[in-house]
Structure 1
Amino acid sequence: MVPVGLLLLPLLLALLAGARLLWGQWKLRSLHLPPLVPGFLHLLQPNLPIYLLGLTQKLGPIYRLRLGLQDVVVLNSKRTIEEAMVRKWVDFAGRPQIPSYKLVSQHCEDISLGDYSLLWKAHKKLTRSALLLGIRNSMEPWVEQLTQEFCERMRAQAGAPVTIQKEFSFLTCSIICYLTFGDKEETLVHAIHDCVQDLMKTWDHWSLQMLDMVPFLRFFPNPSLWRLKQALENRDHIVEKQLRRHKESMVAGQWRDMVDYMLQGVGRPREGEGPGQLLEGHVHMSVVDLFIGGTETTAITLSWAVAFLLHHPEIQQRLQEELDRELGPRASGARVPFKDRARLPLLNATIAEVLRLRPVVPLALPHRATRRSSIFGYDIPEGMVVIPNLQGAHLDETVWEQPHEFRPDRFLGPGANPCVLAFGCGARVCLGEPLARLELFVVLVHLLRAFTLLPPAGALPSLQPYPYCGLNLKMQPFQVRLQPREAEAPGLGSASDQ
């Protein structure tokens, strides 16, 4: 017989949750808050960023809605996002400490999910220094080398349909492996790649999203929660093994890769950076952030770029003409260094347009108000969760002409609007933005110089993302034929051939 207490537990938890919601609303009664959208099930809407943008027609660019038991404020325009994240960044630099975040950060608070503090700032500074200073002179050559090897593998499959997102995913994982661990050994790359895939798939499950919105659900059985814990154990085992290897072979004052640099930067007090000190656990979570934030995000963006170019062969042809004009014959070893990327204005404009239309993390990660503040004249109480709708801001008709159209030329010429928020802005701007922009530039230069992108049997990929996504804006799987350009017949790859 089931004990009466167990039967009453769900009712008791529901009553407590309801009381908490009512108490929260009562505390806010005297504030001038953004308008509230009725309902509780907004997270179930397909194409959530577009749905949230649609609500602005009646409510304006800033409003509140309920996600489970919590009110959140949604920002849907460039002006509201920049007011909060740039001009008032100190007020909105926090992160909500929700159950899945705490679980994923179990080893030590990480950069992406960790709450704002002086120690968090020191952690971010160390990781950014490792990325931009520790490997400054070797990052671009490594990306170039691995991209050339990627193109050679693709050349071996010339003309055959290729599942390009999977190939990009292995490439970006190889780059992160090399920069972080100084190792591109295939077994390690595959192990880390599979780990990241498993972790992201499990973390995106709807039952874990519900747990974040209704925390008392943690008292009930949840198979996805168990799978997430298993994926995290596997993640930590891989990272700890690499950290041990580095500590055993490291030479003081020298660094071979980012892990060497970071390990030599922890364990000592830092003047002016608050209580506590950086520990090996912080290096552990920096590595996790680099792989989670730097593998699939860049691979998905590259895949969206290929999909748009398959739909717009005239843009692809203009890009190849630009490359040929700047780099000469395809057989030459000429290259455009990233610092000279302005020599390829159309390529830069194409990357900007892909990032505008398909920001890979369209709702960013949620922010938390660290103190009472305001946005657009509305009061924002301390602790309020704020969600920047980056994709919504990129589709704002008051800023962008024909915002849903793929038009790289909007970023060319005088008066072009260069502001794309795909990597966020302010204190929480994506740590890996410099690396991601380098990868997008280098990979597309090599790919478009070496190949013409063609749809297999004329089957163009869908440009619509999966309607129900987690953190990343996922796309429908598709294939592409990579036709070596030296093998092209006259006119191959022109719009008439599509």
Structure 2
Amino acid sequence: MVLPGLWLLLLLLLLLLLVAGARWLRGRRKVSNLRLPPLAPGFLHFLQPNLPIHLLGLSRKLGPIYRIRMGLQDVVVLNSNSAIKEALIKKWADFAGRPPIPYEKLELDLSLGDYSSTWRTHKKLSRSALMLGMRGSMEPLVEQLTQEFCEHMRAQAGTPVDIHKEFSLLTCGIICCLTFGDKDVTLVHTVHSCVQDLMQAWSHWSVQILDIMPFLRFLPNPGLWKLKRFQEHRDHIVRQQLKLHKDSLVAGQWNDMIDYMLQGMEQLREDKGEGQLHEGHVHMSVVDLFIGGTETTATTLSWAVAFLLHHPEIQKRLQEELDLKLGPSDSGSQILYKNRAQLPLLTATIAEVLRLRPAVPLALPHRTTRASSISGYDVPKDTIIIPNIQGANLDETVWELPSQFWPDRFLEPGRSPRSLSFGCGARVCLGEPLAQLELFVILARLLQAFTLLPPADGALPSLKPQSYAGVNLLIHPFRVRLQPRRPAPRDQGQSP
């Protein structure tokens, strides 16, 4: 028996094909004189379970730049380092736009909002809050919360733990402290639960399909309704924090990013310059930090643990490097992030994890703000561009043995430890400096204090990502045993 919903979906797909055919005929007449990238056959590419790798596979037949059909329009996919850098760095102004999102008003959103003078001002304020407002407190805060995390893990020593959940709570706590100035456990768990709900709802097929068939937003959609309820809950939490901060704000002083941005917003109003901001921009900056700064970093940390479980010889070398530079975990020694070159293997390992498993493997879609070109191909205005970051990170013309986990590649002279995993150009990830700091400090302290071991049954985590849905490249759930490398200090009531 065929369910009524399935019949409706089949009818909608038929309608989509008819409308797409009509648009294709009209569009063909308009672009007949242009040299467009080759078109990949088929309509169902976005249903592939490992989409970034599927798109990379198409490049072997069509070249690094080609078009695929997404609903009623063609999108251009970039699969190589050179193509992505040409578009997003060399010709950044042509490719800095964002496609419209049909199911939420995101003109105030830094990640998804379109390029404009107001967007530039908004990004400048948010980046200033992160890099200048929190400059003196960011690293000590990450260090402190990571030490508390290690103490929490020591209390569970020998017991297999869901390490991704623990990392997720840690990164959420860091963002709460930086943004709200508060690490209250109840608040952290409330925000963490909200972020998890949003990510799950966003990745549901009933929401994802709206990117391909936006006209479906006019039909009843329980998945979209659920997403909107979670967004309302998210906004309620942020509004409460904004009110608390406005009530306690002291001119010229700030304790966290909200304080800094509220005062920066007022200063912009007084200056009456281009791109005026209001409280809604501060609100969405907070949302961006939580959505983009918790799960992505936690997932990258989880991938790092998974790779080290598969490669204990690299874990041993990392611990030897840490012991040489930092000594025992209870020695109180600290290596500043600015001196990270003193831990070259750790820096290289982080770079290799980011290369192989970028948290956002297809980046976020771009849109051309005017007619342009890439590698000799014409790209009309308002074309959607998908940078296949994971594909570029596996580019055989750039990387030797690209699919192999080999941190030593970044120890070679002249090899930069930075891949495209955080994007590049005008739309480079705002939180990259914080994420890099967290990865460095958390992995250093974790490996200094513990040896990572599989559960008693010896089961190793899968290195194959979950089926691609939504934005993030997710890891399959796994557990790890954290074996303390040294006994707990005396002040914790245990023998040395």
Shift of 1:18: 4.5
Q: 1:13 deviation in Å?
A: 8.0
8 Å Cα contact 2:20/2:73 also seen in 1: no
User: In structure 2, what is the Cα distance between the partners aligned to 1:401 and 1:176?
Assistant: 36
What is the CA-CA distance between 1:15 and the residue it aligns to? 5.4
Distance 2:409 2:421 in 1: 17
| Structure 2 SS opposite 1:55 | helix
The residue aligned with 2:464 is 464
Deviations 1:51-98 (A, max 9, x none): 100111111100000011121000000000000000000000000012
For residues 90 and 15 of structure 1, the distance between their equivalents in structure 2, rounded to whole angstroms, comes to: 35
Deviations 1:141-166 (A, max 9, x none): 00000000000000000010000000
Question: Does 1:485 find its partner at 2:485?
Answer: yes
1:86 paired residue number: 89
- Mapped to 2, the partners of 1:15 and 1:316 lie a distance apart of 56
**8 Å CA contact retained: 2:198, 2:230:** yes
Alignment TM-score, normalising by the size of structure 2: 0.93
Partner amino acid, structure 2, of 1:69: L
Q: Measured at CA, do residues 225 and 316 of structure 1 come closer, stay the same or move farther in structure 2, by a change above 3 Å?
A: same
SS at match of 2:34: coil
Q: Alpha-carbon deviation of 1:415?
A: 3.9
Q: Give the match for residue 359 of structure 2.
A: 360
Q: Which segment drifts farther, 212-221 or 80-89?
A: 212-221
Listed as ranges, the gaps of 5+ residues in structure 2 are 1-7, 489-496
Please report how far the alpha carbon of residue 470 of structure 1 lies from its aligned counterpart in structure 2 after TM superposition. Answer: 1.6
Aligned to 2:293: 294
For 1:62, the aligned partner's letter is: I
One-letter amino acid of the structure 1 residue matched with residue 472 of structure 2: N
Equivalent residues of 1:122, 1:273 under 8 A apart: no
Q: Distance in 1 between matches of 2:261 and 2:137?
A: 16
What is the CA distance between 1:442 and its match in structure 2? 0.4
Give 1:20 shift. Answer: 3.4
**Residue type of the partner of 2:123?**
K
Q: 1:118–1:273: 8 Å Cα contact kept in structure 2? A: no
Q: Is the 8 A contact 1:305 1:354 kept in 2?
A: yes
Q: 1:272: Cα distance to partner?
A: 9.3
How much has 1:174 moved relative to structure 2?
A: 0.1
- CA offset digits 1:358-411 (Å, max 9, x no partner): 001000000000000000100000000001000001111121111111000000
- For residues 417 and 434 of structure 1, do their structure 2 counterparts lie closer, same or farther at Cα, with a shift above 3 Å needed? closer
Q: Where does residue 492 of structure 1 map in the other structure?
A: none
Q: Deviations over 1:204-227 (max 9, x none)?
A: 111212111111111211111110
Q: Does 1:69 align with 2:68?
A: no
Return the letter of the residue paired with 2:187.
L
Q: Secondary structure at the match of 1:481?
A: strand
| Cα deviation code 1:311-356 (max 9, x no counterpart) | 0000000000000000123331101000110000000000000000
**2:143 is equivalent to residue 140 of structure 1:** no
The alpha-carbon deviation at position 48 of structure 1 amounts to: 0.5
Partner Cα distance (1:442, 1:29) in 2: 54
Structure 1 residues 5-53: Cα deviation after superposition (integer angstroms, max 9, x where no partner): x9xx979887555533432333222210000001111001121100100
What is the CA-CA distance between 1:109 and the residue it aligns to? 1.5
Matched AA of 1:210: I
The count of residues paired between Structure 1 and Structure 2 equals 476
Q: Which residue of 2 aligns with 1:239?
A: 238
Q: In 1, are the aligned partners of 2:372 and 2:380 still within 8 Å (CA)?
A: yes
Going from structure 1 to structure 2, the CA distance change for 1:203 and 1:119 (only over 3 Å counts) comes to same
Task: Kindly indicate whether the alpha-carbon contact (under 8 Å) linking 1:13 and 1:216 is maintained by their aligned counterparts in 2.
Answer: no
Q: SS of 1:266's equivalent?
A: helix
Q: Equivalent residue for 1:95? A: 98
The separation in 2 between residues aligned to 1:416 and 1:134, in whole angstroms, is: 32
Q: Where does the alignment leave 5 or more consecutive residues of structure 1 unmatched?
A: 1-5, 489-498
The residue aligned with 1:386 is: 385
What amino acid sits opposite 1:31 in the alignment?
A: L
Correspondences of 1:94-133 after superposition (within 5 Å): 94-100=97-103, 102-103=104-105, 105=106, 109-133=108-132
| Mapped contact 2:20–2:71 kept (Cα < 8 A) | no
1:340 aligned partner? 339
- 1:180-212 Cα shifts (integer Å, max 9, x gaps): 000000111111101111011111111212111
Q: Residues 366-377 of structure 1: matches in 2 within 5 Å? A: 366-377=365-376
Cα distance change on mapping 1:467 and 1:16 into 2, 3 Å: closer
Asked if structure 2 preserves the Cα contact closer than 8 Å seen for 1:270 and 1:277, the reply is: no
SS, match of residue 143 in structure 2: helix
User: Within 1, Cα distance between the matches of 2:411 and 2:16?
Assistant: 57
Change in CA separation of 1:111 and 1:129 when aligned onto 2, cut-off 3 Å: same
Distance 2:370 2:263 in 1: 35
- In structure 1, give the amino acid aligned to 2:368: A
Structure 1 runs of 4+ off > 3 angstroms? 9-22, 267-274
Tell me the residue number matched to 2:474.
Answer: 474
For 2:413 and 2:175, the matched residues in 1 are separated by 37
SS of the residue 2:39 aligns to: coil
2:58 to 55, 58, 63: 55
- The 3-state SS of whatever aligns with 2:231 is helix
